[in-house]
Chains A and B, each alone.
Chain A
Amino acid sequence: MAEVTYLEAIRQGLFEEMERDPSVFCMGEDIGAYGGAFKVTEGLLDRFGAERVIDTPISETGFVGAAAGAAHMGMRPVCEMQFIDFVSSAYSILTNYVATARYRAFLPCPMVVRGPSGGYVRGGPFHSQNPEAAFLHTPGLKIVYPATASDAKGLIKSAVRDDDCVLFFEHKYLYRRVKEELPQGDHVVPIGKARLAREGRDLSIITYAATVWKALEAAEQLEKDDGLSVEVLDLRTLLPMDDEAIVATVKKTNRALIVHEDTVTGGIAGEITARINELAFEWLDAPVRRVAAHDVPLPYAPQLEDFVLPQTADIVRAARWLAAY
């Protein structure tokens, strides 16, 4: 069976859900005839028509709000942010209207907001962001950020079927770089469950999205050069967070390194650290450490971007520090 890219996996997931459920439809900028800036929605217009693949005006508040209204009426809209950086333009309506709808007004709001995220692609400050932490603090939203093609497909299908709003982050560095054979049939990955990407005994790296691959690379190197057995936990879902999996890996290795591509201050690593502190403090043999991006807007030049973002060498260095503690 052929290998499928992360990007193609998302398209397959969307295609299958639109085939399965006529209430699913897509909205976004340039997603119809053009197929989206990264071609995630290519082919959807031909198959499902302009009523279900809607090219919108440049108005993230407008079409995210419209998605909420349609969702109240029983539809299941999927909104594409051309780049996830632009989700901040819909921040108010997502956090104030969408996230509260069920609680304050018993209005169902089953919708997905998805888009290309992340750096390592020389995209500069407005085409490289990882704004997931900005939404972690909002009860009522769910946040998913897959690292593999299989999870990308299984989670987009779960997101479409979820009865609440799911923010679906897609890492654009992974779009065409990771591929694998996908499970046959209706492949669905549950929201809220982490994945053990690599088993180990000495140290746990807790991460998600593109840095899962950097963590795996680091783990290989640490095994080869240092004889360290490193476990890698891929969170996959950030909200709700899989506390059980986090605690299990900490209890197993007693050392935790949290890695993410987003900036360090106020990043999700801080929340994970707090949870480990509250739930597994007595199991720790070393302080929890973080490897994340420097607290600066992401610069464009390769020399600058590579310095700002976490690299495999950073993870290796931090892991050695932790192992030696």
Chain B
Amino acid sequence: MAVTSALATDSAARAGLSRDQLLELYYWMRLTRSLEERLVNLYRQTKVVGGLFRSLGQEACAVGSAYALSREDVLSPLIRNLGSMLVKGATPLEVLRQYMAKGDSPTRGRELNIHFGDVEDRNFVGQISHLGDMVPVMAGVTLTFRMRKEPRVGLVYVGDGATSTGAFHEGINFAAVQRCPLVVVVENNRYAYSTPTAKQCAAERLADKAAGYGIPGVRADGNDVIATYQVTRDAVARARRGEGVTLVELMTYRRKGHAEHDNQSYVPAGEIERWARENDPLDRYVQRLTGSEGVAPSELEALDARVLAEIDEATDVAERSPPPEPRDCLVGVYADPPEAPALWYREGIRSAVDRHERPASWGTHDG
């Protein structure tokens, strides 16, 4: 079984990308980073009502891999794949409304953060928190493509941690046996919450797991957006040719905690700073663009300004968005019946919110 390393890919090659495409990759990476920075501000203002998940340092991984897909291909993102979703057509406005639990957010306030999807047009699937579960789901999505002889491909992301789950194993094995047109991308960012990869798996290279499924496993530098694009593009092409599943391991590093509350006390001193200084995917890409690609710094600054303007505009709209109607919580558990009845003691009351109940009073209420 060929387990190849893409670490040594010819970094001078543009992987067939045009100058405009190279700049587009920069735009998506910058948008990902700046949008998350905006979300941090909103989180500190308590306008993000739940947790906040960052992909700082992983933007190349997310953007480069998703850029290898066509619009009709289906992508299954994970919590660090904001960049992948933006490439696939998710908008900053959707993301902001979703984080702020607005009534016109993609899930109408039902789900958190980037847990949303669109399989009608832009083709990305709403994820759940149970890691590994999206692998069997995407095996089924792509099984359908194979059965219907549609030239479409699926891509599913998992982290280093999810490769330990039974669902990952069952899903990738099923897809391999059925020769589904599926690319499984393992984003190895070295930590699953606080657990380093060495405590997750005794194998040195997660790509080596591919051999056990009879599929190729490849590894690439996940902080090099071009290398990431290239290795994914090849796996996508292979899937589209009907040759089945490829496991792609992208090596990266999670510079923020599991979520915004996590102080990363478990990370060895200096490690985060070293990655930030020496291996930031945006810094590396800017160097390349302004170096060998001859892009003027002013051109990148113009893109940065465009990104900020777009985020400002989306933030204004999102902040004005209404909250959900409480009774909408009863709609759509089933196609039939379309709506569940409210419990009898809720008649005449719109919701607990009307009574100004707050969890903060739990345990402190003196009657």
Contact = CB atoms under 8 A, between A and B. Distances in A.
Nearest to B180: A66
Given A51-B147, A61-B167, A75-B144, A97 B128 contact: yes
A92 interface: yes
B81 interface: no
Given A105-B111, A107-B125, A164-B335, A93 B136 contact: yes
Nearest to B116: A105
Contacts, number: 138
Contacts of B143: 66, 69-70
Interface string A104-116: 1111100000000
Contact of A107 (B110, B117, B145): B117
26 contacts: A54-B178, A57-B174, A59-B170, A60-B170, A62-B170, A62-B174, A65-B135, A66-B171, A68-B137, A69-B141, A69-B144, A70-B143, A73-B141, A74-B144, A93-B133, A93-B136, A96-B129, A97-B130, A102-B334, A102-B335, A103-B333, A104-B107, A105-B107, A106-B332, A139-B340, A162-B336
A56 B119 CA distance: 26
Interface residues of B, number: 42
A59 B170 CA distance: 6
Contacts of A237: none
Contacts of B258: none
Interface string B120-155: 000001101110010111111111110100000000
A51 B147 CA distance: 7
Interface string A257-274: 000000000000000000
A135 interface: no
B137 A65 contact: yes
A69 B143 CA distance: 8
A2 to B, nearest CB: 34
Interface in A44-93: 51, 54, 56-57, 59-75, 77, 92-93
A25 B146 CA distance: 14
B130 A92 contact: yes
Given A65-B171, A71-B140, A96-B130, 5 more contacts: A65-B139, A66-B137, A92-B130, A102-B335, A142-B334
A73 B139 CA distance: 12
B15 to A, nearest CB: 30
A275 to B, nearest CB: 13
B214 interface: no
A93 B337 CA distance: 23
B55 interface: no
A140 interface: yes
Listed residue (B110, B129, B142, B333) with the most chain A CB atoms within 10 angstroms of its CB: B333
Please tell me the size bucket of the interface on A: 35 or more
B173 A69 contact: no
Given A68-B137, A105-B107, A59 B174 contact: yes
Interface string B172-184: 0111011000000
A100 interface: yes
A163 interface: yes
B166 interface: yes
B128 A100 contact: yes
B174 A92 contact: no
B254 interface: no
A280 to B, nearest CB: 15
B335 A163 contact: yes
In the A-B complex, the 4 residue pairs with the smallest Cβ-Cβ separation, listed nearest first, are A65-B136, A69-B140, A62-B170, A105-B126
Residue of B119, B125, B144, B340 ringed by the most chain A CB atoms within 10 A: B144
A163 B336 contact: yes
Given A59-B174, A62-B170, A97 B137 contact: yes
A73 B111 contact: no
Contacts of B177: 57
A240 interface: yes
Contacts of A75: 144, 147
B33 interface: no
B190 interface: no
Interface in A96-133: 96-97, 100-108
B219 interface: no
A139 B130 contact: no
B142 to A, nearest CB: 8
B115 interface: yes
Contacts of A67: 140
A75 B116 CA distance: 21
B141 A72 contact: yes
Contacts of B119: 72-73, 107
A102 B144 CA distance: 19
Interface in B192-244: none
Contacts of A54: 178
